[in-house]
Structure 1
Amino acid sequence: MLTITNTNIITPNRIIENGTIRIAEGKIVDIATQRVSAEEQPGEWLDAKGLFLSPGFIDIHVHGGGGADFMDNTVDAFLKVAQTHVCYGTTAMLPTTLTSEPSELLALFDTYMEALNRNVHGSRFLGLHLEGPYFAMNQRGAQDPRYIRNPDPNEYLPILEQYHHLIARWSAAPELPGALDFGQKVHDYGILLALAHTDAIYEEILPAVEHGYRLATHLYSGMSGMTRRNAYRYAGAIESCLLLDAIDVEIIADGVHLPEPFLKLIHKIKGDDKIILITDAMRAAGMPEGKSILGSLTGGIEVIVEDGVAKLPDYSSFAGSVATADRLIRTMINMAGLDLITAIKMMTLNPARLLGCDDRMGAIDIGKDADIVLFDQDIRVHYTFISGKLCYKN
């Protein structure tokens, strides 16, 4: 039994001041509205001294951190990323790929399976996020153009048949030839399907939704806005994702990819329940600014990290973020004007619901996994627990 007392417990509906929770066998077994003393409870005991207690943060789009990237394709890299982000409150994540050679992607599955079994101290892995390679070339951003291609059933069907149990989500451009058939197959396997790096217009996104596309990957980044064709205006992917209730949106809320007006606009339109905060962090997250590599050390591209963001050397595009989960929440409070409960929800319950695991994580509730973060009023993380096990202490 672990008892955490004298803490402000954040639930989806309120904050329980000076509360207490009890944990046994990795689960939350009791929530009390008063503090207790060590003499009152058996087992381990922690006086949180007024810290906020939140569900663990869930990052459904992250590439790296701590000097490592999942595309390094080593177990050590996977574990390093997980151990880096747990220090910032992330208790669960979707390791995310970049466009690559087919052989490189296939090798990654084996690495992931081994890392999954050895990951005992870092953020837990909930499945892979395959970002690409089926993208619009005009919206590639920092994705390597050498590997961008149209969906090919000879490529994706064997992957789905053999590895569908390891894939949590797949991001693609829905307007590409074959993208609707691809999307339907992905959706049929129960994998979250997202539109990304796309030039699709409203008339192309409507059938995409019917074929399973349910999430906008890093809204505004790598997608078209209003466009003209033969003098007529068409709503781009940005306007379509904001308009359609069937589409949730994930946002890189670092305050750089999306400045204050964009954050406020997105929240005004999509509301509290349809927004998911993501880091989209690359290997430089948690590292000093300077030169870095996006993607694998051997096949990646050089980037420059400055002003709290990664950029291509020619400054033509951002190249992934260096954000951590705590920064996202601070940004939504300080720039978007959200209250703490709502900002936390966008990093916990909303992604859990989208992934279909909200029955066991994403909220402080009896019977759910004891994935817990304790932080101060500045959202600085002091403790991170995963299944009731202490994984980080500041």
Structure 2
Amino acid sequence: MISIINAKIITPYRVLEKGFVTIEDGRIIDVQATDKWPTASANHQLIDAGGLYLSPGFIDIHIHGGGGSDFMDNDIDAYLNIAETHARYGTTAMLPTTLTSEQALLLETFKVYEQSLSKNKNGAQFYGLHLEGPYFAMEQRGAQDPRYIRNPEPEEYEPILRDYKHLIARWSAAPELPGALTFGRRVCEEGILCALAHTDAVYEEVVKGVEAGYRLATHLYSGMSGMTRRNAYRYAGAIESCLLLDDIDVEIIADGTHLPEPFLKLICKVKAKNQIILITDAMRAAGTNVTESILGSKVNGLPVVVEDDVAKLPDRKSFAGSVATADRLIRTMRNKAGLELAEAVQMLTANPARILGLQHQIGTIAKGLKADLLLFDEDIQIQKTMINGRFVYEK
């Protein structure tokens, strides 16, 4: 049994200025806002937080890599390196995310992911794959490889759902494509979160997507249509539609570069706080100091440059994923969007847990939930990361 005492405990609603949390067998068994600590014994260890913040572990539902590795490398060591790299920055749960690719590479990804699950002892835990593509609008592809972008066809996705649905947590696609509504309904039938992404949809098409089960906007503003004109008439694009419709949650790359301060403030003003999810969208250069890198697989990925705290395509015309870590997202939302600390933390803990249906396992500091916990200081510098009741990182 372990009790973390003398901590500022972050809940989805406020910060408990002084309290303790007790953990046993990897689970939280007690949470109290008091300065009357438990008594240490041979079977009860006390850890003095020294007034640091005690937070739920961060949950990154859109992440491609870090530490010099990418999930599309299709290598178990790459998976473990990414998980351990991001654990140092507070991520305790993640959805390994693919890129648009040839189908053979995707099928190999399923096998490597499954093999990595039992070997991931010291890093952020995997809660299912996020398939980003290949069903995207060509004009909104961003850094997605155009060679592999295509429309959803049952002949392709039905075998994937049949054989690998238990490994897939979410699937992102453009809802306006031919066959995309049928695709969305099938994905939802299998209990997989369906998200709209890299889309040129207008409002009417987004509404149809919502009706077919699309419930999340993948990296709002990035790879997404805005207001457009057709024969002098204005049409709301995917951006305006996702801000307007209450049935769509939004995820944002809160690195402060993909979305500058006015956009962050606008999203927080329009969308309910519990409908905003922070993501890193990190590629392999996250957690490193390199200036050149590769987006996607080392075999056939796209070369990128890393400058101004972001990855870009070599012509500098498009971002190519972020190099952010989860701690940076919290700092950005507090310092640029003007959120209270508890609000920002909610967007990287309770909110993603809820949309994945994991709110009874992770995402908050509450009795019975997994002891995925962080200790960090006023600058959100991670001091300790605990996963399943065991410290996997200590600064």
TM-score (ref. length: structure 2): 0.98
1:140-155 aligned at under 5 Å gives the runs 140-155=141-156
1:16-55 aligned at under 5 Å gives the runs 16-35=16-35, 39-41=39-41, 42-55=43-56
**C-alpha distance in 2 between matches for 1:158 and 1:35:** 56
1:214-225 aligned at under 5 Å gives the runs 214-225=215-226
Following TM superposition, by how much is the alpha carbon of 1:152 offset from its aligned partner in structure 2, in angstroms?
1.1
Following TM superposition, by how much is the alpha carbon of 1:45 offset from its aligned partner in structure 2, in angstroms?
2.1
Q: Does residue 1:9 correspond to 2:9, yes or no?
A: yes
Letter in 2 for 1:304: V
Q: Does residue 1:250 correspond to 2:251, yes or no?
A: yes
Following TM superposition, by how much is the alpha carbon of 1:14 offset from its aligned partner in structure 2, in angstroms?
2.2
RMSD: 1.0
Asked if the contact 1:86–1:123 (Cα under 8 Å) also holds between the matched residues in 2, the reply is yes
Q: From the superposition, tell whether residues 350 and 38 of structure 1 become closer, same or farther in structure 2 (CA, over 3 Å).
A: closer
Which sections of structure 2, spanning at least 5 residues, go unmatched? none
**C-alpha distance in 2 between matches for 1:113 and 1:312:** 31
Letter in 2 for 1:140: R
Asked if the contact 2:373–2:386 (Cα under 8 Å) also holds between the matched residues in 1, the reply is yes
Following TM superposition, by how much is the alpha carbon of 1:38 offset from its aligned partner in structure 2, in angstroms?
7.7
Q: Secondary structure at the match of 2:320?
A: strand
1:176-325 aligned at under 5 Å gives the runs 176-325=177-326
Following TM superposition, by how much is the alpha carbon of 1:117 offset from its aligned partner in structure 2, in angstroms?
1.1
Which residue of 1 is the match for residue 394 of structure 2? Answer: 393
**C-alpha distance in 1 between matches for 2:289 and 2:346:** 29
Asked if the contact 2:64–2:281 (Cα under 8 Å) also holds between the matched residues in 1, the reply is yes
Following TM superposition, by how much is the alpha carbon of 1:39 offset from its aligned partner in structure 2, in angstroms?
4.7
Q: From the superposition, tell whether residues 370 and 229 of structure 1 become closer, same or farther in structure 2 (CA, over 3 Å).
A: same
Which residue of 1 is the match for residue 344 of structure 2? Answer: 343
Q: Secondary structure at the match of 2:241?
A: helix
Asked if the contact 1:6–1:36 (Cα under 8 Å) also holds between the matched residues in 2, the reply is no
Asked if the contact 2:20–2:37 (Cα under 8 Å) also holds between the matched residues in 1, the reply is no
Which residue of 2 is the match for residue 101 of structure 1? Answer: 102
Which sections of structure 1, spanning at least 5 residues, go unmatched? none
1:341-380 aligned at under 5 Å gives the runs 341-380=342-381
Which residue of 2 is the match for residue 68 of structure 1? Answer: 69
Letter in 1 for 2:247: A
- Deviation track 1:14-59 (CA, whole Å, cap 9, x = no partner) reads 2222211110011100112224568545422211111000000000
**C-alpha distance in 1 between matches for 2:330 and 2:168:** 27
**C-alpha distance in 1 between matches for 2:198 and 2:3:** 46
Following TM superposition, by how much is the alpha carbon of 1:299 offset from its aligned partner in structure 2, in angstroms?
0.8
**C-alpha distance in 2 between matches for 1:255 and 1:141:** 18
Asked if the contact 2:6–2:50 (Cα under 8 Å) also holds between the matched residues in 1, the reply is yes
Number of residues of Structure 1 aligned to a counterpart in Structure 2: 394
Letter in 1 for 2:100: T
Q: Secondary structure at the match of 1:320?
A: coil
Asked if the contact 1:135–1:173 (Cα under 8 Å) also holds between the matched residues in 2, the reply is yes
Asked if the contact 1:289–1:306 (Cα under 8 Å) also holds between the matched residues in 2, the reply is no
TM-score (ref. length: structure 1): 0.99
